[in-house]
Amino acid sequence: MASSLISGLINNQHAACDITVTDPDQQKLDQLHQLYAVNTDIDNLNAIKTADVIVLAVKPQILKQVCELLKDSICKSRPLIISIAAGIRSTDIDRWLGNNNAIVRCMPNTPALIQAGATGLFANKNALAEQKTTADQILSSAGLTLWVDNEEQLDAVTAVSGSGPAYFFLFLEAMQKTGKQLGLDEATAGLLAKQTALGAARMALESDDDTATLRAKVTSKGGTTAAAIASFENNHFSDIINQALTAARDRAIELADELGKN
Ligand SMILES: NC(=O)c1ccc[n+]([C@@H]2O[C@H](COP(=O)([O-])OP(=O)(O)OC[C@H]3O[C@@H](n4cnc5c(N)ncnc54)[C@H](OP(=O)(O)O)[C@@H]3O)[C@@H](O)[C@H]2O)c1
């Protein structure tokens, strides 16, 4: 995730000399330096000494330990903290960092890897307007950014876009499999499904029509699409989606409770 942000920032003409990357693995740091000419430092405390923005991009399970290491330094310099760790609430990060920090918590998704991500962002009450702008600039290097007003909404963002790429992959797998059963070779079925997803997503994003209208426009009465849509509806497609996204939202809440309890 961090590499995607770095790559996006550099591609957007951000100065490499303003970015310092840390990681326990010197080889990874050397690779990132070679690729993007960013500064690197294996020592977290050294790396953040003069930072006005710190992006926390470690696994959620070790975030507390990382925060506790940085706490004293951060309490003195008060940088903007951006966390992309899934499921860790800003109140927990703030507590681990000694309280009263400006924190922007983000929920990106994997298409960030190709700068086609969608990220939900939430700023705590200590984050200033210009710090929110900075966070937006950093995350928009990975794709679309959308702000939410309260932190619980990030659990819904997790359910829609955070976990969302996997839903579409599942849909594509099923379309490819059925395309093959219906007589296409696997590669052709897969490519047709993927290109159709891309075309439909682009139409949905670029058209003035909402998705229900777009769907109606390609669904002639008595036609092939109408037969497929009727089959989806008879199998309660909307309920299936509703249950799946609600399960993802509920799991996000459970994980935040578990990870933030210490
Ligand atoms: N991938 C996604 O789709 C996605 C979506 C939304 C949010 N996120 C969040 O993004 C964060 C990063 O995810 P990821 O998939 O990029 O994980 P990742 O590939 O494991 O990247 C984390 C990096 O941090 C390094 N690291 C470990 N301990 C460190 C320390 N003390 N100081 C500095 N760096 C340290 C890791 O090194 P080692 O490998 O040597 O441990 C690794 O290179 C996670 O919190 C995740 O929840 C990911």
**pTM score of the predicted model:** 0.93
Q: State pLDDT tens for residues 14-41.
A: 999 999 999 999 999 999 999 999 999 9
**For the chain, what is the mean pLDDT?**
96
**DSSP H or E segment with residue 67:** helix 60-77
Ligand 1 centroid distance, CA of 126 (Å): 25
Q: Scanning the structure block, which residue is given the tokens 């008060």?
A: 78
| Best of 59, 65, 82, 96 for a ligand 1 pocket test (most atoms within 8 Å of beta carbon) | 59
Name the closest-CA residue to atom 22, ligand 1.
58
Instruction: For the chain, give the percent of residues with pLDDT over 90.
Output: 97
CA distance 100 to 97: 9
Residues with beta carbon inside 6 Å of ligand 1? 1-2, 22-25, 28, 44, 57-60, 62, 66, 84-86, 107-110, 162
Rama region for 51: left / alpha / beta (φ>0; ψ in -120 to 50; rest): beta
Contact between 102 and 132 (Cβ < 8 Å): no
Q: Is 111 helix (H, G, I), strand (E, B) or coil?
A: helix
Name the closest-CA residue to atom 45, ligand 1.
85
Q: State pLDDT tens for residues 105-143.
A: 999 999 998 999 999 999 999 999 999 999 999 999 999
Q: State pLDDT tens for residues 159-178.
A: 999 999 999 999 999 999 99
Q: Is 103 helix (H, G, I), strand (E, B) or coil?
A: strand
Q: Is the pLDDT of residue 223 over 80?
A: yes
Residues 6+ apart with CB under 8 A from 190: 172, 176, 179
